[in-house]
Amino acid sequence: MRLGKDVRIWRDDKLQGNDHFADEIVEQFGQTAVLVSVLTPRYLNSEWCTREVKEFCQHAIGDVGLFVDRKARVFKVLKTPVDTEARLPPIMRKLLGYEFFTVEDGVPMELDAVFGERFGQDFNEL
């Protein structure tokens, strides 16, 4: 809607957890405007996921740059709290990110309507 045209989203649905990291993913980066990474503890423990974001950042820096008008071409979405972001590229660690969770009585709760109407509303506000 903000671009005034349809957005093409590429996601490799064929890859499974035991597949080899595909060069096909890296080859897509030349046609990729932004990368949306949804961070969870499992994501950060995945060599595959952290390699993908590192490869994208390296490609973006060598292409048109990682920033456009002081905005990063990487979106850091935090689905749940994470203990560390040490495996991410330094530039991504510096991004504020978008938190799609709240903490209630010390327990993290995802912003999802399945947990109640308020959580769904909070999700939509982001």
Q: Encode pLDDT of 39-57 as tens digits.
A: 999 988 888 888 888 889 9
Is residue 84, in this structure, part of any structural domain at all?
yes
Is residue 16, in this structure, part of any structural domain at all?
no
Three-state SS letters, 11-35: CCCCCCCCCCCCHHHHHHHHHCCCE
Q: Encode pLDDT of 67-94 as tens digits.
A: 988 899 999 999 989 988 888 888 889 9
Is residue 7, in this structure, part of any structural domain at all?
no
Domain of residue 43 covers 28-125
Average pLDDT of the chain is: 83
Q: DSSP character for 124?
A: H
Is residue 71, in this structure, part of any structural domain at all?
yes
Is residue 69, in this structure, part of any structural domain at all?
yes
Is residue 101, in this structure, part of any structural domain at all?
yes
**Environment class of residue 112 by beta-carbon count within 10 Å: exposed (0-12), middle (13-18) or buried (19+)?**
middle
